[in-house]
Amino acid sequence: MLNITKQVEQVQGVVSDSITDALLYSPVPLVLKGFCQSWPIVKAGLASNEEAADYLRSVYSGDPVIASLGAPDIKGRVFYNEDFTGFNVANSRVDLNLVLDKILEQQSSASPATMYVGSTDAHRWFPKLVEDNDFNITNAIPIVSLWIGNQSRIAAHYDFPTNVACNVVGNRRFTLFPPDQISNLYPGPIEFAPGGQEISLVDFENPDFKKYPRFEQAIENALVAELAPGDALILPSMWWHHVEGLAPLNVLVTHWWRDTPSVYGRPNNALSMAIMAIRSLPKEQRMAWKHIFDHYIFAEELDQHNHIPEQVKGKLNLPLDTNMARQLRAELLNKLKR
């Protein structure tokens, strides 16, 4: 375990009916103590792992889930294999009841096999769970997902959507880093990662500071959040997070939503375009484009375009008009076909 002394700030007495936009859109992570402690699934988990499993079985649709199975020697770390040609877990579509049976069978084992069911849409696989528990957290329509497993370690990564992560069964530890720590976290391949999103290659259980020396700087900027059953974490967009399931059975419910219309597209697409069009340019040209991007995209205040008459600002208007966004998408698609 890393020696991180800075804890995420805790907020007491907040439930879904009293959560404010100031909390939901906090620029830094926050722990909401006891946020979902009244949920039936939390109460079942506090009674026993068996009751938690029975509750999940009672609300499960029966459709196969995608489960990851790893040998005991990976010690819960979902990662690449040794030569990065694949992963250290095998994925298959299985009945959730079989996964729960296996987790319960191993709950007393000192070295269990890793059993992990990643992001699983609650409305499709657990519709009764959505009805039973208060998921009305935002004015947006969040993507609600369940994460189920035994002791697991999910490598540090970031997500574009904002997230309210509700820890409903077991205990979890989130180790968090602000977005500016990306270089100190040594992210791996963009196209090929265990969860589809690039991850830090550093083993947080046993970091190799000779191989990853800047990771020590990341630790200096890290925060840690220890979540008990019923706690929630507000996780701002783009914050890196390493997630550990600490109990023999852990269940997390995430709520993801974005702050802009989906017609704007995913920022990852812009990154891919820039990699294709800019990254291989000579240094002088890359630096020139950096200035252009800073001017139009990354300036802290985007009011430097006020010298342009409003009626001809076009794509520089804020917020971007959705009709203009659709026009830009069509233009890009046409250009990519050439």
Taking the C-alpha atoms of 114, 118, 122 and 125 in order, what is their torsion angle to the nearest 10 degrees? -70
- Choose among 86, 76, 119: nearest CA to 246: 76
Span(s) in the chain for CATH 2.60.120.650: 10-257
CA distance 144 to 122: 6
129-247-103 Cα angle (round to 5): 70
Q: What is the pLDDT of residue 310?
A: 84
Q: What is the pLDDT of residue 306?
A: 83
Which residues have CB under 8 Å from 74's CB, separation 6+?
Answer: 88, 89, 114
- Choose among 1, 4, 52, 14: nearest CA to 232: 14
CA distance 120 to 118: 6
Q: Strand 152-157 and strand 77-78: pairing? A: parallel
Q: What separation in angstroms does the CA of 95 have from each of 11, 62, 101, 131, 306?
A: 38, 7, 10, 22, 58
Q: What is the pLDDT of residue 18?
A: 84
Q: What is the pLDDT of residue 319?
A: 85
Which residues have CB under 8 Å from 135's CB, separation 6+?
Answer: 16, 122, 142, 144, 253, 255
Q: What is the pLDDT of residue 138?
A: 65
Classified by CATH at the fold level, domain 10-257 comes out as Jelly Rolls (2.60.120)
Q: What is the pLDDT of residue 318?
A: 85
The pLDDT profile of the chain, 338 residues, written as one tens digit per residue, is 788 989 999 999 998 888 888 999 999 999 999 999 999 999 999 999 999 999 999 999 999 999 999 999 999 999 999 999 999 999 999 999 999 999 999 999 999 999 999 999 999 999 999 888 766 666 677 899 999 999 999 999 999 999 999 999 999 999 999 999 999 999 999 989 998 899 999 999 999 999 999 999 999 999 999 999 999 999 999 999 999 999 999 999 999 998 888 888 889 999 999 999 999 999 999 999 999 999 999 987 777 788 888 888 888 888 888 888 898 888 888 887 76
What's the whole-model pTM score? 0.94
